[in-house]
Amino acid sequence: MGIRTRSFANNILSGGVFDATDLDGALPSSNIDNTSVGNITAVPALVATTIVASDPPSPDAGQIWYNSTDRVLKGYVLSAGSWASGGSYNTPRSTGSASGDIPSAILAGGESGADYTVNTELYNGSVWTEVNNLNAQRGVAGMAGNSTAAIFIGGDSPPVGTVTTTAAVESWDGTNWTEIADLNTAKAQGAAFGIQTAALWATGEVPPGNTLTNQVESWNGTSWTEVAEVNTARRAMSGFGSYTSGLISGGVSPPLVANVETWNGTSWTETTDINTARLNFGSSGNNNSDGLIYGGGTPTGTSNTESWNGSTWTEVNNLGTAIQRLGSGFQGSSLSALAASGQGPSTATEEWTKSLVTTTLGAS
Q: Please say if the pLDDT value at position 236 is more than 70.
A: yes
Q: Residue 1 above 80 pLDDT? A: no
CATH for 166: 2.120.10.80
Q: How confident is the model at residue 295 (pLDDT cuts 50, 70, 90)?
A: very high
Residue at 204: amino acid letter: G
Look at residue 247 and tell me if it is in a domain.
yes
The average confidence (pLDDT) of the chain is 87
Residue 89 lies in a domain: yes
**Is a pLDDT exceeding 50 seen at residue 298?**
yes
User: How do strand 64-67 and strand 72-78 relate by DSSP bridges?
Assistant: antiparallel
- Residue 146: CB partners within 8 Å, gap ≥ 6? 99, 100, 104, 106, 195, 196, 331
Tell me if 36 is assigned to some domain.
no
How many Å separate Cα 329 from the centre of its chain? 7
Question: Residue 119: its pLDDT value, please?
Answer: 97
At residue 6 the predicted structure's pLDDT band, cuts being 50, 70 and 90, is very low
Domain that holds residue 207: 82-353
Rounded CA separation 81/94 (Å): 25
Specify if 34 maps to a domain: no
In a domain, 344, yes or no: yes
Compute the Cα dihedral for 169, 172, 176, 181 and give only its sign. negative
pLDDT of amino acid 328: 66
Of all residues in the chain, what percent carry a pLDDT higher than 90? 69
Whether residue 179 has pLDDT greater than 60: yes
First to last CA, the chain: 43
Contact indicator for 169, 183 with CB cutoff of 8 Å: yes
Are 140 and 156 spatial neighbours (Cβ–Cβ below 8 Å)?
yes
pLDDT at 36: 45
Q: How many CB atoms lie within 10 A of CB 271?
A: 17
Closest Cα to residue 196, out of 224, 178, 228, 219? 219
Distance of CA 245 to the CA centre of its chain: 12
CA–CA separation, 154 vs 146, rounded Å?
17
pLDDT digits (tens, 9 = 90+) for 312-339: 999 999 999 999 998 766 677 888 899 9
Q: Which residues contact 140 (CB under 8 A, 6 or more apart)?
A: 95, 111, 155, 156, 188, 189, 236
| Number of domains comprising the chain | 1
Q: Would 23 be classed as within a structural domain?
A: no
- Given a cut of 60, whether residue 197 has pLDDT beyond it is yes
Among 158, 156, 177, which residue's Cα sits nearest to residue 167?
156
Q: Does residue 53 fall inside a structural domain?
A: no
Reduce the secondary structure of the chain to three states and give it as a string: CCCEECCCCCEECCCCCEECCCCCCEECHHHCCCCCCCCCCCCCCCCCCCEECCCCCCCCCCCEEEECCCCEEEEEEECCCEEEECCCCCCCEECCEEEECCCCEEEECCEECCEECCCEEEECCCCEEEECCCCCCCECCEEEECCCCEEEECCECCCCCCCCECCCEEEECCCCEEEECCCCCCCECCEEEEECCEEEEEEEEECCCCEEEEEEEEECCCCEEEECCCCCCCECCEEEECCCCEEEECCECCCECCCEEEECCCCEEEECCCCCCCECCEEEEEECCEEEEECCECCCECCCEEEECCCCEEEECCCCCCCCCCCCCCCCCCCEEEECCCCCCECCCEEEECCEEEEECCCC
**pTM score > 0.85 for this model?**
no
Per-residue pLDDT tens digits for 117-138: 999 999 999 999 999 999 999 9
7 falls within a domain: no
